[in-house]
């Protein structure tokens, strides 16, 4: 956790330049020369000269750790010459995202950045779920400290739903950004503020600060575009603007007679004769050309989702009752849900033992009577055993409406054995969905490496759906694999895998965002169909009509 204070521009500059010098020194001298030890908390105390001196004694890993925790704008300063002219504007510039990099470089007259610059390639470091929680917390803290802004918007990797986002950033819309930021700075504990400027501030967080931009309403259309990025997209949009005699910056789209009137982000695209490019696709190579040619797909949307086929209750490791989950689903406007608790051999903290399946069936029947407008399917999330069989006997599965199969436990198997287990289980006529197929977790494990093309071909051939799991700990399939599955002709299903009722909608949103990153359309996703469509999908496999 970053606990230092970086509100003083001079200190920040010294820190940034010092880190740059230390890094430069590394390329010329062995690290043993500068190796030393300093506690992070000590870094920012004492006069700047002292700080600079102490920074020189950090080892490479420590410097890299400090550097990583700086807002990306501060990192751009690592590229700056020591006598750069940005001194006065330093604190504000520090709130920039990577999209601003070129502009600063332009204005400072440094010439083009080398494309190989490590600062030009920002890799995601914050898992999406954590980024979302941090942004929510900061919004609440700032609302309490400075008053509620007119609106909040997520920007950066969070808005694009990057599974690992390079930044955590939000946009506050307010009449007087400077006064609002001033109130926040005055009210917040100094140690929580990493950097403050006149148009925003960064709240200390691990592993990235949460950057808060404040803008007036008239700047929202361009600011949203600007801060959502990614940088290459913003850069391309600036070129498109220039080709039409316009100039795009974060506060406006300038024509010959001044700023154009814009009311929403879509207006920026309209002025460039483009359809709105969905945020989830903005990082794709060639997306602007596709947009210009009119070949962007009609992406699936949250309102296309009719139901959720994967969730847990108190019968296994969920927190809420069947009724609790069904009421949450009803509030989201779903027409159906499947209750799918963990089977007996799952390594979950609690599992559904076979003697309780009947009891659960009775409870579901009771809730059906209470909530008649949501169809409740009784399902299960079955573990795939090391031999490819399920841990629940067929006579139990037959009585259920839908069966999910999960390879939670790789059992140390290599790619061939893992694939064989999947193929074996997909031959089973009662298995309808393969959940979180790669068993990955962003920021923790990349998941299984196996011949996914064969898995998807077999899913298509056997009438088995492949899941996009929106739980933050899964986000699996990832977008490239989901796109491959769809192109092979496998049916996708987007589920929340939710264990807590109030997260049902959010986790589905993450799943839908992943599907949009994979350029999926509603027709490629099973749970955009009504419940009869789902029942027909299940029945087709059971009766061998696939």
Name the site residues for Zn ion (rule: CB under 5 A): 381, 406, 497
500: nearest Cα among 324, 366, 292: 324
Give min distance, CB of 68 to Zn ion, in A.
32
What letter does residue 142 receive in the DSSP assignment?
Answer: H
Give min distance, CB of 462 to Zn ion, in A.
20
What's the Cα-to-Cα distance from 72 to each of 22, 67, 411, rounded to whole Å?
A: 18, 9, 41
Give min distance, CB of 471 to Zn ion, in A.
7
Residue 313 backbone dihedrals phi, psi, to 5 degrees: -130, -170
Secondary structure (DSSP) of 298-313: ----GGG--EE--B--
Cβ closer to Zn ion: 221 or 472? 472
Give min distance, CB of 542 to Zn ion, in A.
22
Cβ closer to Zn ion: 252 or 496? 496
Cβ closer to Zn ion: 17 or 382? 382
Take residue 443 and report the two structure tokens written for it: 């920021």
Cβ closer to Zn ion: 101 or 380? 380
Cβ closer to Zn ion: 363 or 497? 497
Cβ closer to Zn ion: 160 or 310? 310
66: nearest Cα among 273, 262, 207, 258: 207
Note whether 508 and 496 are within 8 A (CB).
yes
Cβ closer to Zn ion: 228 or 406? 406
Cβ closer to Zn ion: 237 or 338? 338
Note whether 483 and 442 are within 8 A (CB).
no
Assess whether the previous peptide bond of 477 is cis (omega < 30° from 0): yes
Assess whether the previous peptide bond of 372 is cis (omega < 30° from 0): no
Give min distance, CB of 423 to Zn ion, in A.
19
Give min distance, CB of 406 to Zn ion, in A.
4
- How are beta strands 168-173 and 193-196 bridged, if at all? unpaired
Cβ closer to Zn ion: 320 or 381? 381
Take residue 110 and report the two structure tokens written for it: 């440094």
Give min distance, CB of 538 to Zn ion, in A.
18
Give min distance, CB of 481 to Zn ion, in A.
17
Close Cβ partners of 264 (under 8 Å, ≥ 6 residues apart): 220, 221
475: region left, alpha or beta (phi > 0 left; psi from -120 to 50 alpha): left
Give min distance, CB of 202 to Zn ion, in A.
36
57-86 in b/e form (b: 16+ CB < 10 A) is: ebbeebbeebbebbbbbbbbbbbbeeebeb
């Amino acid at each position: 956790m970053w606990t230092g204070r970086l509100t003083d521009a001079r200190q920040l500059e010294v820190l940034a330049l010092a880190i740059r010098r230390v890094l430069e020194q590394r390329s010329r001298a062995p690290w043993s020369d500068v190796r030393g030890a300093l506690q992070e908390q000590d870094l920012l105390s004492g006069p700047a000269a002292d700080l600079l001196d102490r920074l020189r004694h950090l080892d490479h890993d420590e410097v890299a750790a400090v550097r990583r925790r700086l807002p990306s704008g501060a990192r751009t300063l690592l590229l700056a010459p020591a006598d750069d002219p940005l001194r006065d504007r330093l604190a504000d510039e520090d709130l920039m995202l990577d999209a601003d990099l070129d502009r600063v470089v332009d204005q400072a007259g440094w010439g083009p950045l080398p494309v190989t610059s490590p600062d030009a390639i920002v890799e995601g470091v914050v898992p999406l779920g954590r980024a979302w929680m941090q942004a929510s917390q900061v919004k609440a803290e700032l609302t309490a400290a400075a008053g509620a802004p007119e609106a909040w918007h997520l920007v950066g990797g969070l808005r694009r739903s990057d599974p690992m986002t390079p930044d955590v950033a939000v946009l506050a819309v307010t009449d007087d950004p400077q006064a609002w930021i001033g109130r926040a700075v005055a009210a917040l504990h100094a140690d929580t503020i990493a950097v403050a400027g006149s148009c925003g501030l960064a709240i200390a967080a691990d592993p990235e600060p949460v950057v808060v931009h404040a803008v007036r309403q008239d700047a929202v259309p361009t600011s949203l575009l600007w801060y959502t990025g990614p940088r290459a997209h913003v850069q391309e949009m600036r070129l498109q603007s220039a080709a039409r005699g316009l100039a795009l910056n974060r506060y406006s789209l300038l024509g010959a007679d001044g700023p154009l009137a814009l009311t929403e982000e879509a207006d920026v695209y309209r002025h460039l004769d483009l359809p709105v490019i969905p945020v989830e696709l903005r990082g794709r190579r060639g997306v602007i050309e596709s947009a210009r040619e009119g070949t962007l797909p009609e992406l699936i949307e949250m309102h296309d989702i009719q139901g959720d086929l994967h969730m847990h209750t108190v019968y296994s490791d969920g927190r809420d009752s069947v009724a609790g989950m069904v009421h949450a689903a009803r509030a989201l406007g779903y027409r159906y849900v499947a209750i799918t608790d963990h089977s007996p051999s799952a390594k979950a903290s609690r599992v559904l033992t076979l003697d309780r399946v009947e009891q659960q069936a009775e409870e579901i029947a009771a809730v059906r009577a209470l909530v008649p407008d949501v169809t409740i399917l009784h399902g299960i999330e079955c573990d795939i055993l090391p031999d490819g069989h399920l841990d629940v006997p067929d006579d139990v599965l037959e009585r259920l409406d839908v069966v999910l199969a999960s390879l939670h436990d790789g059992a140390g198997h290599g790619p061939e054995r893992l694939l064989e287990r999947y193929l074996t289980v997909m031959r089973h006529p009662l298995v309808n969905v393969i959940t979180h197929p790669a068993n990955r977790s962003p920021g923790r494990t990349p998941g299984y490496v196996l011949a996914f093309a064969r898995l998807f071909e077999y899913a298509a051939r056997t009438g088995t759906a492949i899941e996009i799991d929106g739980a933050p700990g899964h986000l699996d399939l990832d977008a490239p694999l989901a796109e491959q599955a769809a192109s092979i002709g496998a049916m996708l299903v987007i589920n929340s895998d939710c264990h807590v009722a109030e997260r049902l909608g959010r986790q589905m949103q993450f799943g839908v965002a992943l599907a949009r990153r994979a350029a999926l359309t509603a027709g490629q996703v099973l749970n955009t169909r009504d419940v009869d469509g789902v029942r027909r999908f299940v029945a087709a496999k059971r009766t061998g009509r696939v």
